[in-house]
Amino acid sequence: MRDIFHEELDEINQSLISLGKLTQTALDSATHALLTADLALAEKVIADDDKIDDAQHLLDAKTIDLMARQQPVANDLRALVTSLRMSADLERMGDMAHHVAKLARMRYPATAVPPELLLTVQEMGRVASKIVGKAIDLIASRDTEAAKVLEKDDDEMDILHRKLFATLLDDNWAHGIETAIDMTLIGRYYERFADHAVSIARRIYFLVEGEYYSDQK
């Protein structure tokens, strides 16, 4: 029975990894759609958000069913509870990609990002994708040292976020309030995406060590 339980636990872990890859693909596609005014790609990201939601619901149902059938304790219970929380983080990351794609669609046929912010937004997309890739690896490896490093990687996103706001607040900004609001939202979506990935790293550390590390922001 214990072997079967741990096989099912491994399946849940693999489902988390698959869900993470879906969110990474969604974000990469949404970023490309945003920067290039690719309406078809934006529509695909928006439609595929249902797949992320369905995958999360199925994963949570499996997790709760396993908890009910096996009544795990100690480390096994912590793994299942952590799985529920990480799946919620991943679902919210999918939502952030969905919001980016919706903004790209809303401004079509124009490109939503003005020229002076193209590189900044492109870099935010790159950093967010890198961070979620590392979070996916953590789910597989449970490397606590790498988990602590991931939060430091998020500093790169914070710097980009401040750079975006500096451009919006500059006296030379010539794109009006509507575009400024769009860019404020875009910055928030990428920042929150990265924050959820950091949350996954913290949960992995807690899963392994039974406590949160003390040098959190």
39-56 pLDDT per residue, tens: 999 999 999 999 999 999
- 92 occurs within a structural domain: yes
- 171 occurs within a structural domain: yes
Q: What percent of the chain has pLDDT over 90?
A: 83
- 78 occurs within a structural domain: yes
- The count of structural domains within the chain is 1
**Is 63:81 a contact under the CB 8 Å cutoff?**
no
- 214 occurs within a structural domain: no
- 86 occurs within a structural domain: yes
Q: What percent of the chain has pLDDT over 70?
A: 97
Whether 213 has a pLDDT exceeding 90, the answer reads: no
Which pTM value belongs to this model? 0.93
Range of the domain at 6: 2-209
Angle, CA of 74, 209 and 138, to the nearest 5°? 105
**Which of 63-72, 137-146, 197-206 shows the lowest per-residue confidence on average (mean pLDDT)?**
63-72
Residue 93 is predicted with a pLDDT of 98
User: What pLDDT band is residue 75 in, cutting at 50, 70 and 90?
Assistant: confident
* Residue 12 CB coordination number (10 Å): 18
Measuring CA to CA, which residue among 28, 56, 53 is closest to residue 42?
A: 28
- 217 occurs within a structural domain: no
Mean pLDDT of 156-184: 94
Q: What is the DSSP string of 23-54?
A: HHHHHHHHHHHHHHT-HHHHHHHHHHHHHHHH
Q: What CATH number is attached to the domain comprising 192?
A: 1.20.58.220
What is the C-alpha to C-alpha distance for residues 49 and 47, in angstroms, rounded to an integer? 5
- pLDDT, mean over the chain: 93
Residue at token pair 């980009």: 160
